[in-house]
Amino acid sequence: MNIDNKYGQNEGSRAEARGMQKTLQFCMFLITFVIYVGSYYLLARDEDILTNHITLVTIGLVIVIPVCSMFIALLTLAPFLFFYIMTFASFIFAVLIMPSPKPELYTDIVLWAGPVILLSFVVFITYKLVLVRREYMQTDVSKETITRIQDSLTPLFGQGWIRRIAFSEIRMWYYCLYVWFKPPVINKEISFAYHKDSMIKVLIFFGCGMLLFDVGVLHFLIGMFSKTLAWIITISTVYLLLQFIAFYNSCRYEPHIVDDQRIVLRLGFYLQAEFSPDQIESIQNAKKFNDVSKEKGVFNCVLGLDSPQYEVILKESLWMTYMLGGREKITKILLKIDDPKAFYQAIDSKMQTEA
């Protein structure tokens, strides 16, 4: 058999499996949503709660959802963490909406199945963390710490959306807290900063100041009407503040990279495009910002108050990656560099070498 054909068939099979996994998980979310809404309608909005309604809700929340999610995790080879997330969410939702005293069927399931599920979860997490640590230790030590963490998370989260969401949170906390104590080493010979002479620092400090003001004022004002809502808004504001700090640190410690094998252009940890020097058609001075900002297929590495210095034109479209794993095809990249002359010379020399 032709090796290329065999490789293509394997890639097609994997793509088909991923598509099936996403379809089944979407169906599971849809079923869960219907059960949640139906349960709330039967219990929370019904003044005369009937026994058969309670039984139906109990079966749906603590039996149907866990069993279906377990089968989907097994059939699609998804990380078994999917089963635990769906199960714990359903049990918590059941606790919130079940009337007191709790129905006998619900109590029996919690008493008998609860400890088994918790014990299996502890064993599962412990085993997976051992695999994650082993993968981390085996990863190339020359890579950045955050890259090694990302590469080692597959045994725990798989390759799907759970891994992307988990890694985005880990990445946020890494740049928000960890880098203050152990900054990553930056190879200045191939790195080009873009945060010093831009409006990134101004916008981040202004945004953080406004958020701190909002935390104090809004918490006091909204707390006069609802303490719960006030704390929800306060916690959300603090989390957004941490996102701002993480974004600024990621701009500091994730510069643009230009070497012989690859070129990596970024906007913090939110956006990234990686390609080889031979994929560049040309690099030229950028046009006025408004002339290109609304074009399709443009990766804008520049914040709104800055004007780009260069635009990199690609020979063919390539994928730009978002923080949560989404992708978009691009053919042009807009840039603003702290040292534009050195960056242009580096790109031009790589293009000449490839030519």
What confidence tens digit (pLDDT) does each residue in 8-24 have? 445 455 566 667 777 88
- Whether 121 and 162 map to the same domain: the answer is no
Instruction: Tell me whether residue 129 is in a domain.
Output: yes
Separation of CA 1 from chain center: 40
pLDDT at 1: 39
Q: Confidence band (pLDDT; 50, 70, 90) for 134? A: confident
Instruction: Tell me whether residue 224 is in a domain.
Output: no
Share of the chain above pLDDT 90, in %: 0
Instruction: Tell me whether residue 150 is in a domain.
Output: yes
pTM (2 d.p.): 0.67
Which range has the worst mean pLDDT, 148-162, 207-221, 264-278?
148-162
Compute and round to an integer the Cα radius of gyration of the chain. 25
* 267 against 352, higher pLDDT: 267
Q: Report how far residue 38's alpha carbon sits from residue 44's, in angstroms, rounded to the nearest whole number.
A: 10
Count Cβ neighbours within 10 Å for each residue of 313-342 and write b for 16 or more, e otherwise: ebeeebebeebeeeeeebbbbbbbbeebee
Please give the tally of structural domains in the chain: 3
Which range has the worst mean pLDDT, 85-99, 157-171, 180-194?
157-171
Instruction: Tell me whether residue 247 is in a domain.
Output: no
Instruction: Tell me whether residue 303 is in a domain.
Output: yes
Q: Which of 76, 105, 134 corresponds to the end of one domain?
A: 134
Classify strands 191-192 and 298-300 as parallel, antiparallel or unpaired: unpaired
Instruction: Tell me whether residue 110 is in a domain.
Output: yes
Nearest to 261 by CA among 274, 243, 244: 274
- Whether 108 and 155 map to the same domain: the answer is no
- Whether 116 and 164 map to the same domain: the answer is no
Q: Report how far residue 217's alpha carbon sits from residue 220's, in angstroms, rounded to the nearest whole number.
A: 5
pLDDT at 7 over 50: no
Mean pLDDT of the chain, nearest integer: 78
Identify the burial level of 115 via C-beta atoms within 10 angstroms of its C-beta, where 0-12 means exposed, 13-18 middle and 19 or more buried: exposed
- Whether 38 and 150 map to the same domain: the answer is no
Residue 300's domain comprises 256-354
- Mean pLDDT value across residues 279-298: 72
Nearest to 263 by CA among 171, 167, 337: 337
pLDDT at 289: 53
